[in-house]
Each structure stands twice: as structure tokens, then as C-alpha cells.
Structure 1
Amino acid sequence: MARLAAFDMDGTLLMPDHRLGDNTLSVLKRLRERDITLTFATGRHVLEMRHLLDKLALDAFLITGNGTRIHTNEGEVIYRQDLDPSVAEQVLHSRWDTRASMHVFNDTGWLTGQEDPLLLKAHAYSGFRYQITDLRRIPAHAVTKICFCGDHDDLRRLRIQLNEALGVRAHLTFSAFDCLEVLPVGCNKGSALAVLSDRLGLTLNDCMAFGDAMNDREMLGSVGRGLIMGNAMPQLIAELAHLPVIGHCRNEAVSHFLNHWLDKPDLPYSPE
């Protein structure tokens, strides 16, 4: 029996409209009744996630910014890591051959240089939104992560440029088809979950995790039970081919799997 359950949000726990379904909320409460610790492991900002937890009345740890921050149920920061200032400075001030928009995250929130209302649809439920600012004026020593949003093929070409410029000084990952992230070295959901598990006196083998994108790869591959969404990025399914695929987020596949796991743990699971 897993003692800690870790959930990606977008494309996993949340439905395509970026809302949490009633069945999903119900099964999360069932897990807590069984004394299973919950953690939400997401690229979203902690300010947004605290707001969502308050709305949902859920007791959970938070791994936010794709592993750059860990917060307790009470809001205490137990782990933090920012980009190397030289990396942040280079990304912010270089000219990149891309049409993608740039977005910067730090403890104050989400910063970008241009309006893009389409990006706000994913945050309609929480009301979290960006602040328009001159990105070149942001202090490089306080940048948590930098994201580029745009066409997937364009982002793949941008990743080559970033790799050549940054080398081993940063970790690059796709958190979605249309989002490429620049993160601190060694910073991912898997490494953050290892820190949290250790603090709770657990091992990664005591954990189960759910995800759908490449930023979930380290987490899914390191836990005792990793589960991939049916709507996952093909690259993720290919790299973790040994893990089961449970179904689509639009059908609340996480709740479908967990109810089966709680009620019929000895029977094989069939995706919804």
C-alpha cells in the first residue's frame, strides 16, 4: 500500500477545462481518510496552488515550479532552489531565434512582457494571472524558472539553442507540448519528491505518482508505482514504456484508477 500519492495537475488531475472533477475530489478525500499523504507536484506557482487548496479544503503538501519549491500543509517552505543568476541573466538578455513568448517566475508571481489572454484560460478557475513588465529589468538572482510558450516544433528548435548556450548549467524540460521550461540544475519533480519523502520518513518506493508530460518523467520513473495518463506526451510513454497507461484526464482517469485500487486492490485494472 502506497503511503504518499503525488499528482501532476494539468493533463492529469485536472480535466481539459483545467478544473478538478467531483469524482477526483471525492477520491482524494478517500485517500486522506486512509491516512495516505497527498502532494500536488506541478509547474504552477505556489500562490495559485495555495488558493486552489483553500477552495477545495484539501490537506496536501505542494511541490511547485516543477520542483523548485516544496511547501508543507501549513505553508512552510521546506525546500527552494532558483536558477543560477548567470543562467537567468543569459536567458533574459540573449536574442533567441523563436516566436515563443517568454515568461519568468519568482516568489512574487508570474511575469511576462506581453499580453496573451489565451494563456489565462488554464488559470480561469483560480484567477491567477501574469504581471506585464520589462523582463530585462527583473533581478537575475531571484528567478525561479523561465518558460517559453509557443508552437512545439519552434520550441524544439529553441531547445537546441538553449542547450548549446547553457550546457549543463540548467535543466530543460517540456511541461506541455507548448511549454519549454528552463529550470535549475538537478531540479525536477522526482528530486523534490525524494526530499519530501525523506522528510516524512518514507522512501520513493512508498510513493505512487501520476503524470502526463516530460516534466513528470523523473518523478514517475523513480517511485514505487508510476502511472501515465492516456493523454500523455508520446515521448513520455516511449521513455517509460514499462509503466501502465491508465486513461484520459477528460474522463477523470485518476479517480477511476484510485477507486479501483482502494476497493479491489487484488484485481487487475482496466483503463476506463
Structure 2
Amino acid sequence: MILKDKIKVIITDLDGTLLNSDHKISAYTKAIFQELHQQNYLLIVATGRHHLDAQSIVSGLDCPVYLVTSNGARIHSPDNELLYSIDMESDIVKSIFDLDIDSEITSVLFKENNWQTNHNNDKLNSFSEESKYIPEIVDFNTLEDFKSIKLFFTHHNHQKLVDLKDQILSNYADTFNHAFSLPFCLEFMDKSVDKSIAIGKILELENFIFEETISFGDGFNDEKMLKSTGKALIMGNAPQSLMDTLPHLETILSNDQDGVATYLSEQFL
């Protein structure tokens, strides 16, 4: 069967995938997605970003999009109705901070209306320059409410984050899902949270199946999504380790080359 005839649902990550290195959607990508909408494809954006952050970006497409955020902890309909949500309980998150995390690591709690962090991190701030989702500097040693959507750590030294991941999983392997969305970004979510699970909920709602979907991603938080969909593509800018993990998948142009829009234009338009 021709790919165009099989696929009914288009799914894409944001950072490193739909967005360029300036964290923007290009005019070309916007035009392609509007045309795909006109041709009745169901569009899903699945990202690690918080929904307030992602909504301000996806609105720039000017077409209806289902939004999966915080790696699957939230699902919003194309008209921004909250369809699904799950949080991590305060006590279990606090116990992670009791593990004596290296103070050089930037730690972030994704809360409902803001994000709490121990450091002002310029690199992290650059991802959300126009977002309504704003940071709050806090002292985690005195913080009382640790309930959060997602737990996020960043450091320029990947090995520091690997060591932290191993430290946390030695105690909580059955409690959390984790992923490296980028080599310098380590994320923990509730065990039931993954992009692929949230996407499955949308497909059930819209009466589609995974075999009718195509997905695009560049990070390890996309891995299960890429494995689940009928067709999956890896961005040319993705880490080699992800390509090695999924060697059977085709690699396309990078995010700065409008890889997603170019592929969709060539195969579907």
C-alpha cells in the first residue's frame, strides 16, 4: 500500500524536530501543516514541554492540533480542552531531593502554572523566551509542596546526568519513567506516563489505530512513540545513540532543514 493511502494521523515532537535551532516554527513548516489539515489529516504534537509553553508555540501553526505535553502527563484537545492529566505526588518527589543531588545540576519541577528551579539557567530560559510559563527560583531544602507534573534535570556534562539517573533508579525503578530528551536533559515522570500511551488515548478517541500513524522525533523521550507508530522517522540532528537504538528507521533532514515538513510535502502533498 502507498504510504499516503495508509496514513491518517501525523505525529511530531517539537524541540529538535518541528522547531528549528531558534525554537521556532518556520513559515514553510506552517504552510505544510495547514495544507495537511485541509486534506483532513489528524495532527498531534507530542512534546516534553509544559502545556502552557507548548500551546504558545503550536498556536503559530494556525490549524487544529492535539497536544500531548510533559511527555504524556497532559493531553489537550485542538480547542485547548484538558482531556487527561496525571501528577507525581509531593512525598515521592521530595524523597528524590533527599538523595543529595549535585548542586551544579539545574533541577526543575514542572508545576501547573510555573516551573520551580534552583538555578537561573540561561540555556534553559532560551527555550521559552516568549512563553507564559515562567520560572521561579526556589530553595528545594525548604520547599514544602513538591507535587509536580514532571521532574527535570539539566547539566552540560552528560555523565553527571547518567550518574543521577542511576542513583534515582536504584531506589525508584518501579515508580518513574525517565528519558533523555536531549543529552543534557534528563526527565522523570509518573510510571504511567509516556508519549505513546497518551497518543493511544487520542487515537482511541478519534477511532484510529497506530498502524495509521506516522511520527517524527529526535530524542529518547520519543523512542516508544517511534516504535509504536505505523511509520517513524528520525531527525538528522538526533544523537547517534538514538539512531543506533532504532537502526531500522529512516533518518531524514535535520530540524534546521525543515526535515519534517519536507518529508511530508514529498510523501503526502
Post-superposition Cα deviations, 1:189-242, rounded to whole Å, max 9, x if no partner, equal 111111111111111111111000000000010000111101112222112111
> Does residue 260 of the first structure (1) align with residue 266 of the second (2)?
yes
Deviation of 1:98 (Å):
6.2
Question: Secondary structure at the residue paired with 1:130?
Answer: strand
1:19 and 1:125 in contact (8 A); partners too: no
Q: CA deviation at 1:261?
A: 0.7
> Residue deviations 1:68-120, cap 9 Å, x none?
10011122111111124442121233312463110000212211122122211
Question: In structure 2, the residue corresponding to 1:137 is in which secondary structure?
Answer: coil
Moved more, 111-120 or 128-137: 128-137
Output the CA distance in 1 between the equivalents of 2:56 and 2:256: 23
Residues paired across the two proteins, number: 262
Whether the aligned pair in 2 keeps the contact of 1:98 and 1:158 (CA below 8 Å) is no
> Which of 52, 55, 61 pairs up with 1:50?
55
Q: Match for 1:110 among 96, 115, 134?
A: 115
Q: Structure 1: where are the runs of 5+ without partners? A: 264-272
1:124 Cα deviation (Å)? 2.2
Please tell me whether the aligned partners of residues 11 and 46 of structure 2 are also in contact (alpha carbons under 8 angstroms).
yes
Q: Secondary structure at the match of 1:235?
A: helix
Q: Which among 5, 28, 31 is matched to residue 10 of structure 2?
A: 5
User: Relative to 1, partners in 2 of residues 1:106 and 1:128: Cα closer, same or farther, differing over 3 Å?
Assistant: closer
Q: Secondary structure at the match of 1:242?
A: coil
Structure 1 residues 125-150: Cα deviation after superposition (integer angstroms, max 9, x where no partner): 4464312223342523x311110000
- Residue 201 of structure 2 aligns to a residue whose secondary structure is helix
78-87 or 58-67: bigger deviation: 78-87
Query: For 1:62, what is the secondary structure of its paired residue?
Result: strand
Aligned 8 A contact 2:110 2:116 in 1: yes
Question: How far, CA to CA, are the matches of 2:261 and 2:104 in structure 1?
Answer: 38
* 2:110–2:151 contact (8 Å) kept in structure 1: yes
Aligned equivalent of 1:33: 38
Match of 1:209 among 201, 204, 215: 215
Superposition deviation, residue 260 in structure 1: 0.4
Alpha-carbon spacing, 1:257–1:54, altered in 2? closer, same or farther (3 Å): closer
Alignment partners' CA distance in 2, 1:160 and 1:94: 12
Q: Distance in 2 between matches of 1:69 and 1:97?
A: 29
RMSD: 1.6
The corresponding residue for 1:169 is: 175
Q: In the alignment, is the contact (CA less than 8 A) between 2:11 and 2:215 conserved in 1?
A: yes
- Please state whether the residue corresponding to 2:72 is helix, strand or coil: coil
2:165 paired with 1:159: yes
Q: Secondary structure at the match of 1:160?
A: helix
Give 1:269's aligned residue. none
Matched, 1:64 2:69: yes
Tell whether 2:86 aligns with 1:81: yes
Matching residue of 1:17: 22
Cα separation, partners in 2 of 1:138 and 1:223, compared to 1, 3 Å = farther
Q: How does 1:165-244 map to 2 (within 5 A)?
A: 165-244=171-250
For structure 2, which runs of at least 5 residues remain unmatched after alignment?
Answer: 1-5
Question: Following the alignment from structure 1 to structure 2, what is the Cα–Cα distance between the partners of residues 16 and 127?
Answer: 20
Instruction: Name the CA distance, whole Å, in 2 between partners of 1:138 and 1:230.
Output: 43
Which secondary structure does the structure 1 equivalent of 2:71 belong to? coil
1:55 Cα deviation after fit:
3.8
Cα 1:87/1:73, change in 2 over 3 Å: same
Q: Any conservation in 2 of the 1:53–1:59 contact (CA below 8 Å)? A: no
C-alpha distance in 1 between matches for 2:237 and 2:266: 20
TM normalised by structure 1 equals 0.91
Q: Distance in 1 between matches of 2:255 and 2:50?
A: 21
| Contact 1:146–1:181 under 8 Å retained in 2 | yes
Q: TM-score scaled to structure 2, two decimals? A: 0.92
CA distance in 2, matches of 1:96, 1:137: 15
Q: Tell me the percent identity.
A: 27
- Per the alignment, residue 248 of structure 1 pairs with 254
